[in-house]
Amino acid sequence: MNHKIHENVEIGEGSTVGDYVIIGVSPKGKKDGEAKTVIGKGANIRSHSVIYAGNVIGDNFQTGHGVMVREYNKIGNDVSIGTNTVVERDSKIDDGAKLHSNVFVPEYTWIGKGAWIGPNVVFTNVPHPLCPKAKECMKGAVVGECAKIGANSTILPFVKIGDNALIGAGSVVTKDVPASMTAFGNPATVKKDVSELKCSKGMVDKPY
């Protein structure tokens, strides 16, 4: 296979690494192999993906093509990251989370267990870009367990999205969204409880 695995990389049994994948790239200021990289059993890392050193990734990790995962992230079991998605450093993605294609996850973001992140969702982590103190107050969003964020949404820094909440497609989320509530719009506003939603096609009684 035409891929590169750097020093001090541990990949679990039953894993598949595609062509042109690079695993264990040293972050700035570190020597090759200085930071250990761990990927669990049964991973499927598709072509042209790059995973930096210092990541700890659980079992059954799946990527699309061209995924970028920067250094020092903690990623749980059964996590899927879609094609062309970028995960910056020092973030946390819990078990069973699904990130679709072209998602951007900046530093210090936390995506909870079983969360579903639609395509082209952008998280942010700096309230005032280029501010002299920007790095001192850098903090991404917190996404609760089993929360769902619709395609093309933008999530601002410091925002907390509660467990089982639902964000409508194309929303700009500037404030916290309580657990089990829906929110949509620009800026997104809280509308109703997720349990009140009906299937528009009449196929099921409760879609969530």
**DSSP states of 99-155 as a string?**
E-TT-EE-TT-EE-TT-EE-TT-EE---SSTT-TTGGGG----EE-TT-EE-TT-EE
Parallel/antiparallel/unpaired status of strands 181-185 and 188-193: antiparallel
Which residues, other chains included, contact 162 with Cβ-Cβ below 8 Å and sequence gap of 6+?
Answer: 144, 147, 176, 177, 178, 179, 180, 181
Residue 90 three-state SS: coil
Are the C-beta atoms of 169 and 149 separated by less than 8 Å? no
* Per annotation, catalytic residue among 3, 65, 100, 128: 128
Mark whether 3 is an active-site residue. Answer: no
The CA angle 82-84-88, to the nearest 5 degrees, is 90
Annotated catalytic sites, by residue? 128
